[in-house]
Structure 1
Amino acid sequence: MKLKPLSDRVLVKRLEMEEKTAGGIIIPDSAKEKPMRGEVVAVGPGKAGDDGKVVPMTVKAGDVVLFAKYAGTEIKLDGEEHLVMREDDILAVVD
């Protein structure tokens, strides 16, 4: 299934976190938090400004981003978890 976000929405696939700590301790599934890092899969065209012109998106498909813990709406696409969020919910792009 393909999904094209509208306006200033972004489709993000969560990136899995390490299952071990730096000290080598394995973290069980019940103690894991959902990752707050993901890869941008698709972006909308942008948000309309006050003058009616569309302001282009800052992020693009393929960018790795950090986002707020409770940002976006979770959806399943082809059996995989994704998030649809506003570009404003993205905190930073990871280089």
Structure 2
Amino acid sequence: MAAVSLSVSTVKPLGDRVFVKVSAAEEKTAGGILLPDNAKEKPQVGEVVAVGPGKRDDKGARVEMEVNVGDKVLYSKYAGTDIKLGTDEYVLLSEKDILAVVN
């Protein structure tokens, strides 16, 4: 079996999938208490780095994606597939799992 080398530029999502770079987890609480690694919550905010062409409707026409590359998004907590490329963490998820675009 041949080894596959993945990088952000080689990943192209299919259908209505979105490839998101996960933002860093909070290091301390609002009160200033430092959090150990096992107490940190999984971040739910990230930046879109690649989008698919969009899903097809009942007539076979493509439905345009609502998010674009560069958008900062809030997504469901347990959505998608976690992917680690180098030291960066990404999540590949369906557009329906995106809850909001954050400014």
**Structure 1 length-normalised TM:** 0.92
Measure the CA separation in 1 of the matches of 2:98 and 2:58.
22
1:61 aligns with one of 69, 76, 90: 69
- 1:1-95 to structure 2, matched below 5 A, reads 1=7, 2-95=10-103
Q: Which structure is higher in strand share?
A: 1
Q: After the TM superposition, which parts of structure 1 deviate over 6 Å for at least 4 consecutive aligned residues?
A: none
Contact 2:26/2:40 (<8 A) preserved? no
Further displaced range: 78-87 or 52-61: 78-87
**Structure 2 length-normalised TM:** 0.85
Structure 2: runs of 5+ lacking an equivalent: 1-6
Counterpart secondary structure, 1:74: strand
Measure the CA separation in 1 of the matches of 2:31 and 2:82.
32
Give, in angstroms, the shift of residue 79 of structure 1: 4.1
Aligned CA RMSD, in angstroms, stands at 1.2
> Identical aligned pairs, as a percentage?
61
Structure 1: runs of 5+ lacking an equivalent: none
- Residues 3-50 of structure 1 show CA distances to partners (whole Å, capped at 9, x for unaligned) of 010110000111013212222111111111110111111000101011
